[in-house]
Amino acid sequence: KNEVEQSPQNLTAQEGEFITINCSYSVGISALHWLQQHPGGGIVSLFMLSSGKKKHGRLIATINIQEKHSSLHITASHPRDSAVYICAAGGSQGNLIFGKGTKLSVKP
Amino acid sequence: DTEVTQTPKHLVMGMTNKKSLKCEQHMGHRAMYWYKQKAKKPPELMFVYSYEKLSINESVPSRFSPECPNSSLLNLHLHALQPEDSALYLCASSQYNSYEQYFGPGTRLTVT
């Protein structure tokens, strides 16, 4: 069993839809990271959270420490949101354990 | 300046070559990281440097040799690589360990 599990693996949505990506982890963490990777390789850090909820524009990330579960929500999805979204468990030394990623495709 | 730069963008090398990848940041970050990413797979951590000292080596083969000459610069020296080492090599930095990481664009390495 992987230490960080993401679902779904692939997700296709219509523009405007509300999107949820889930992440479960089995390791102790100092923080949970959500990252976005576009084709070509560039990775952008979206959120780092250790409790509660964070919001940035149309993106919302939540975490339940007791259940070891986090979700990333995208409201009013847009084709430019198409990317791979990666959840990563962060250790105390900065070491990240990555989930396998969710490939999101938003159709116009 | 909130950028992590990596050079070169692309590198093709033979199995007997010696080459180096370079990563630079000027954000005053004290932790720097090397990751390897194969196609359609998530990144895998290779090395973590904290205050210019190697703090994590994830059992990486010795043909990969990291170096942190100062707090802004991180190198990855490559020697006698194998074709299976072909991948995207990503560098990242963070203010301190366990803080938010900023990633560079990566070096796409092909070993022939």
Is A31 in CB contact (< 8 Å) with chain B? yes
Tokens representing A54 are 């964070």
Strands (E), chain A: 4-7, 10-14, 19-25, 31-37, 43-49, 52-56, 59-64, 69-74, 83-90, 96-98, 102-107
Q: A96 — contact with chain B (CB < 8 Å)?
A: yes
What is the percent of chain A with per-residue pLDDT over 70, rounded to a whole number? Answer: 99
Q: Which amino acid is at A76?
A: A
- Core vs surface per residue A71-88: b (16+ CB within 10 A) or e: bbbbeebeeebbbbbbbb
- Mind telling me how many Å the CA of B14 is from chain A's nearest CA? 23
CA gyration radius, chain A? 13
pLDDT of residue A92: 82
Q: Which two tokens stand for residue A98?
A: 């990555």
With an 8 Å Cβ cutoff, are B103 and A86 in contact? no
* Whether pLDDT at A42 is above 90: no
Go through A15-48 and write b for each residue having 16 or more CB atoms within 10 A of its CB, e for each that does not.
eeeebebebbbeeebbbbbbbbbeeebebebbbb
Tokens of A92: 């105390």
Classify residue A96 as exposed, middle or buried by CB count within 10 Å of its CB (0-12, 13-18, 19+): buried
CB contact under 8 A, A45 and B50: no
SS3 label, residue B1: coil
CB contact under 8 A, B98 and A98: no
A57: confidence class by pLDDT, cuts 50, 70, 90 = very high
Please report, rounded to a whole number, the percentage of residues in chain A having pLDDT higher than 90: 83
Residue B88: C-alpha distances to residues A19, A35, B35 (Å) = 29, 17, 8
Are the C-beta atoms of B22 and B7 separated by less than 8 Å?
A: yes
User: Is there a contact between A100 and B41 if contact means CB atoms under 8 Å apart?
Assistant: yes
Banded pLDDT at B1 (limits 50, 70, 90): low
B2 touches chain A (CB under 8 A): no
Q: B21, B27, B100: best mutation site toward chain A, by most A Cβ within 10 Å? A: B100
In this predicted model, what pLDDT tens digit does every residue of B43-83 receive, in sequence order? 999 999 999 999 988 889 999 999 999 999 999 999 999 99
Per-residue pLDDT, A1: 61
User: How many other C-beta atoms lie within 10 A of the C-beta of residue A9?
Assistant: 10
**pLDDT tens profile A69-101:** 999 999 999 999 999 999 999 988 888 999 999
Is A27's pLDDT higher than 90?
no
Which tokens sit at A85? 């979204």
Say which residues have a Cβ less than 8 Å from residue A41's Cβ, sequence separation at least 6. B37, B88, B90, B105, B106, B108
